[in-house]
Chain A
Amino acid sequence: MKAFKNWNARSIAMAVDLARQARADGQSVSFAGGGTDLLQLVKDHIPNRPGQGEPDVLVSLKGIDGPSRIEMTTGGGVTIGALATLTAVSESLVVRDRFNAIAEAAAVVATPQIRNVGTVGGNLAQRPWCWYFRNGFPCYKAGGDRCFSAGGENQLHAIFGGGPSYIVHPSDLAPALVAFGATFRIAGSGGERTVSAPDFFVPPRTDAQHENVLADDEVLVGVDVPAPAAGTRSTYHKIMDREAWTHALSSAAVVMQMDGDVCRRASIVLGGVAPIPWRVPEAEALLAGQRVTPELARRVGEVAVTGARPLAKNAYKVPLTRGVVERTVLALASRA
């Protein structure tokens, strides 16, 4: 690997400061959470930040204690440190009890070895897994000016919200966090700021090169999830081309506020089908105030995919996603 310098930061403030100093010296800097994806990019000479070279300096966040905690808030929500591992999230009793879709999403990421190291921040800010980007093509995501999948091998690419880049957002946590109305805390040289989960992710029409609003000097430090209303239940359903160890071909995070067998409110956010976590408000609206019957679930699935615009080789994702939504909604509503 390239001979970079690693700094083990002891606090977020120290991490931001180390990064600022290195940048002032003209060096390229990357923050490392779990580092599993970052090291892959460095080994493969793929830019971690679009248009930047390989990092001269890594600022490791691993030694920082506070942002690895998962704590229930006084209001009944949960705050999840961006450095919490995916294993910690999937095993957290608070998350499993009140925010099941988030725990389920964390539990189906990659493998135990990745989940033991990979962090919430890294899962949300990971670069796309498009095979063109990962194989060194000078695409938008690498700082270039093309999307090679648009007219190429696009089996795994977007059916919603694509253009000019057609990547799919690879995070499993992201749809679950959007469905729960989370907000993200970001630290940078200008201090800390907060953005809502949907506003964190950037569609390619706004910015084809970046997947989120993080600036070069910024790092995700935490996720705050508000208390769910009484009667809320949730689940995350991920479809892969094998049973484990890959990204979603299509997935759905569904959060429902139930009153007996009537659904008061629903959030449905799709993964693996769009460059950002993809919310389907028309499908959600069908469920509001309704008893969830198999027929209603079928219509919800149909409406969820009405806006789909598949590419040449990924039309299979349309019926797949329709089925994922239908089944997940029905199963969640029927859960005792």
Chain B
Amino acid sequence: MDGPQDSSEARRAPSAATSDDPCADLSRRGFIQGGAAALVAAGATPLPGAVGPASDVMREATQVAQGVPTTLLRFTLNGVPQNLTVEDRWTLAELLRDRLEGVSGTKVGCERGECGACTVLVDGAPVYSCSTLAVWMEGRSVLTVEGLAPRGELSPLQRAFIEHNAPQCGYCTSGQLMSATALLERNPSPTADDVRRALVGNLCRCANYNAIVEAVLAAAGTAATGGAE
């Protein structure tokens, strides 16, 4: 199905979707959830804790499995206080991506604290959300990539990422953005080496590191003084 004969399809830009395209209004995540809803409608048993199709309901519904230890968790997510019952075993990445709605910009790559795709800021510091438990966030403030553009307006760093083609496949981008955001908060005029050091825990499998460093320097307004070699 994904063979070479489909390459023209694969190359079609996302903007090519026209208004008569039935998929035009569907996000990939919405599509996947729609599929899950169809399974439920067809009589399949939903997994315990699986989210339903209606997004307004899902925001509240962090359903937990039966007989599994849970804890009431209070923390701040992108500036909004949260009060949720979570399973003790959930990682923060799991809570964000699989149990809450609208914060799936955080990605999970390796699921073992090595790649950095899951990086979020906890009280301003970059942290691997796959390697910390949700229950350990009690009283803490968590910022995800969604929090960088609270009203849909991209931050200067995000705009610089676009202008400098910093994302290739884009999977590591949200993690890179979070580490770079923390760096610029701490050091508004970093050198290229400062940027490299700050982003050392964020791997880019496309190896687009030069463009990422350029973008961060551009966002800091220091691009003229230190290009990425």
Binding site for B on A (CB under 8 A): 1-6, 8, 32, 35-36, 39-40, 43, 58, 60, 62-63, 87, 110-114, 116-117, 243-245
Contact = CB atoms under 8 A, between A and B. Distances in A.
Interface string B123-163: 00111100111011011000000000000000000000000
25 contacts: A3-B87, A3-B88, A4-B69, A5-B88, A6-B88, A6-B136, A35-B136, A36-B113, A36-B128, A39-B132, A40-B131, A111-B116, A111-B200, A112-B125, A112-B126, A112-B200, A113-B119, A113-B179, A114-B113, A116-B122, A116-B125, A116-B127, A117-B122, A244-B197, A245-B201
A63 B75 CA distance: 14
Most buried by B among A4, A6, A113: A113
A117 B140 CA distance: 13
B89 A8 contact: no
Given A6-B69, A39-B91, A113 B113 contact: yes
Given A3-B68, A113-B128, A117-B131, 20 more contacts: A3-B88, A4-B88, A6-B135, A6-B136, A8-B136, A35-B132, A36-B113, A36-B128, A36-B131, A39-B113, A60-B136, A63-B139, A111-B200, A112-B125, A112-B126, A113-B201, A114-B201, A117-B122, A117-B128, A245-B114
Contact of A4 (B89, B116, B136): B89
B200 A63 contact: no
Contacts of B116: 111, 113
Contacts of A8: 135-136, 138
B59 interface: no
B64 to A, nearest CB: 10
B112 interface: yes
B87 A117 contact: no
Contacts of B32: none
Given A40-B112, A244-B200, A5 B69 contact: yes
A113 B197 CA distance: 12
B198 A112 contact: yes
A6 B126 contact: no
Nearest to A107: B197
Contacts of B112: 40, 43
Given A36-B113, A112-B201, A6 B132 contact: no
Contacts of A63: 138-139
Contacts of A3: 65, 67-69, 87-89
B201 A62 contact: no
Contact of B71 (A6, A32, A245): A6
Contact of B179 (A4, A62, A87, A112): A112
Contacts of A39: 91, 113, 131-133
A43 B179 contact: no
A116 B126 contact: yes
A35 B201 CA distance: 17
Nearest to B135: A6
Nearest to A56: B69
Interface string B98-114: 00000000000001111
Contacts of B125: 87, 112, 116
Contacts of A62: 136
5 residue pairs, one from A and one from B, having the closest CB atoms:
A111-B201, A5-B69, A6-B88, A116-B125, A3-B68
A114 B127 CA distance: 7
Contacts of B111: 43
Contacts of A117: 122, 127-128, 131-132
B12 to A, nearest CB: 36
A192 B166 CA distance: 52
A178 to B, nearest CB: 27
Contacts of A2: 89
A113 B176 CA distance: 12
A245 B119 CA distance: 15
A114 B89 CA distance: 20
A63 B91 CA distance: 17
Contact of B133 (A6, A113, A243, A245): A6
Contacts of B179: 112-113
A35 B65 contact: no
B87 A113 contact: no
Contacts of B132: 35-36, 39, 117
Nearest to B125: A116
Interface string B186-203: 000000000001101100
B88 A245 contact: no
B145 to A, nearest CB: 15
Contacts of A43: 111-112
Interface in B49-89: 65, 67-69, 71, 87-89
A111 B119 CA distance: 12
Most buried by A among B71, B116, B135, B138: B135
A2 B132 CA distance: 15
A109 to B, nearest CB: 11
B178 to A, nearest CB: 9
A230 B38 CA distance: 75
Contacts of A112: 125-126, 179, 182, 198, 200-201
